[in-house]
Amino acid sequence: EIVLTQSPGTLSLSPGERVALSCRASQSVRSSYFAWYQQKPGQAPRLLIYGTSRRASGIPDRFSGSGSETDFTLTISRLEPEDFAVYYCQQYGSSPFTFGPGTKVDFK
Amino acid sequence: QVQLQESGPGLVKPSQTLSLTCSVSGGSISSDSYAWNWIRQPAGKGLEWIGRVYSSGGTNYNPSLQSRVTISVDTSNNQFSLNLSSVTAADTAVYWCARRYYYFDTAGYHDAFDIWGQGTVVTVSS
């Protein structure tokens, strides 16, 4: 099983800041099968990025994804108030598909 | 616009079987480009993939649950289902169904868990 580790666990930031969220995999992940999700309380995860760097439909271009093999990054170029949430990474190239533990982005 | 909707009992007794259904609307469940998944999240914790089913009926399960889980598809009613047997309090969670969609176009290969249901809370308690 591929274990995903996200750091940090929590980030306290202000609107307008740039943020880079990290996800590290215990084994190499094929780039076509790596995604990022945003989750707000009481809601389902919302797909942001798939295939490492492809933005999902309707996702603003302030969100971008990068990385390869075992190191992946979600970057938010300028935090908007609606971006304060929990972010999860996911690999779905090797079964069982796994998620990271999440990074919470909250208000400073 | 394809939508998914989970349904089933919100309370299940320990040792019994948890049964949920995901109804697919706005599109057909039958396509080689889709896999239909169940994912769960205990309160305050992370996400766990339970398993998937194809419209052909083929399945894959998370080994951590494999001995207790069955996922099936009903193409005539455009829905798929989750059965989890011998439940304990550790199975208390929000359960989601989700579509994995993969296809090629001029921009290349696309593959994502793109549509999720709204989720249903299942509590295991006597």
- pLDDT, tens only, B59-69: 999 999 999 99
Bridge partners (DSSP) of residue B112 are B101
Contact flag B63-A102 (C-beta cutoff 8 Å):
no
pLDDT at B31: 86
Across the 108 residues of chain A, what is the mean pLDDT of every consecutive 10-residue run? Answer: 96 96 97 96 96 96 97 98 97 96 95
Q: Does residue B109 register a pLDDT over 90?
A: no
> What would the two tokens of residue B100 be?
């994995």
Local structure of A81: helix, strand or coil: helix
pLDDT at B32: 85
Q: Does residue B120 register a pLDDT over 90?
A: yes
Contact in structure between A48 and A56 (CB atoms under 8 Å): yes
pLDDT at B6: 98
Chain B positions touching A97 (Cβ under 8 A) are 49
Q: What is the 3-state secondary structure (H, E, C) of A7-75?
A: ECCEEEECCCCCEEEEEEEEEEECHHHEEEEEECCCCCCEEEEECCCEECCCCCCCEEEEEEEEEEEEE
A36 touching chain B per CB within 8 A: no
- Closest chain A CA to residue B45: A101
